[in-house]
Amino acid sequence: MLGELRNASKRFGDVDAINDVSLAVHAGELLAVLGPNGAGKTTAISMLTGLRRPTSGTARLFDRDPRDIAARRRVGVMLQASGVPETLRVSELLDEFCGYYPDPLPLPTVIAAGGLGGLERRLYGELSGGQQRRVLFAIALCGDPELLFFDEPTTGLDVDVRRGLWSTLRELTTAGRGVVLTTHYIEEADALADRIVVLDRGRVIAEGSPSEIKAQVPGRRIRAQSSVSAADAEALPGVQRASRDGVWLEMLTGTAEPALRALMARDPAIANLTVVEPSLEEAFLALTTPTQEAAAWPA
Q: How far apart are CA 179 and CA 247, in angstroms?
A: 48
Report the pLDDT value the prediction gives residue 156, as an integer from 0 to 100: 79
Does residue 295 belong to any structural domain of this protein?
A: no
Report the pLDDT value the prediction gives residue 87, as an integer from 0 to 100: 94
Q: Are 217 and 191 in contact (CB under 8 A)?
A: no
pLDDT in tens, 51-77: 999 999 999 999 999 999 999 999 999
Look at residues 192, 214, 236 and tell me which one is the last residue of a structural domain: 214
CB-count burial class (<10 Å; 0-12, 13-18, 19+) for 165? buried
Look at residues 166, 194, 214 and tell me which one is the last residue of a structural domain: 214
Q: How far apart are CA 135 and CA 151, in angstroms?
A: 14
| Tens of pLDDT, residue by residue, the chain (299 residues) | 999 999 999 999 999 999 999 999 999 999 999 999 889 999 999 999 999 999 999 999 999 999 999 999 999 999 877 788 999 999 999 999 999 999 999 999 999 999 999 999 999 999 998 899 999 999 999 999 999 999 888 887 888 888 889 999 999 999 999 999 999 889 999 999 999 999 999 999 999 999 999 888 767 889 999 999 999 999 999 898 899 999 999 998 877 899 999 999 999 999 999 998 888 998 898 888 754 444 333 33
pLDDT in tens, 231-265: 999 999 989 889 999 999 999 887 789 999 999 99
Report the pLDDT value the prediction gives residue 296, as an integer from 0 to 100: 38
Does residue 148 belong to any structural domain of this protein?
A: yes
Q: Are residue 27 and residue 165 in the same domain, yes or no?
A: yes
SS (H, E, C) the chain: CCEEEEEEEEEECCEEEEEEEEEEECCCCEEEEECCCCCCHHHHHHHHCCCCCCCEEEEEECCECCCCHHHHCCEEEECCCCCCCCCCEHHHHHHHHHCCCCCCCCHHHHHHHCCCCCCCCCEHHHCCHHHHHHHHHHHHHCCCCCEEEEECCCCCCCHHHHHHHHHHHHHHHHCCCEEEEECCCHHHHHHHCCEEEEEECCEEEEEECHHHHHHCCCCEEEEEECCCCHHHHHCCCCEEEEEEECCEEEEEECCHHHHHHHHHHHCCCCEEEEEECCCHHHHHHHHHCCCCCCCCCCC
Q: Are 115 and 161 in contact (CB under 8 A)?
A: yes
Q: Are residue 230 and residue 131 in the same domain, yes or no?
A: no
Q: Are residue 19 and residue 153 in the same domain, yes or no?
A: yes
Report the pLDDT value the prediction gives residue 221, as an integer from 0 to 100: 87
Report the pLDDT value the prediction gives residue 255, as an integer from 0 to 100: 79
Q: Are residue 20 and residue 141 in the same domain, yes or no?
A: yes
Domain count, the chain: 2
Q: Are 147 and 178 in contact (CB under 8 A)?
A: yes
Specify the CATH number for the domain of residue 159: 3.40.50.300
* Angle at the Cα of 107 from the Cα atoms of 106 and 110, rounded to 5 degrees: 95
- Domain coverage including residue 262: 218-277
Report the pLDDT value the prediction gives residue 297, as an integer from 0 to 100: 36
Q: Are 178 and 146 in contact (CB under 8 A)?
A: yes
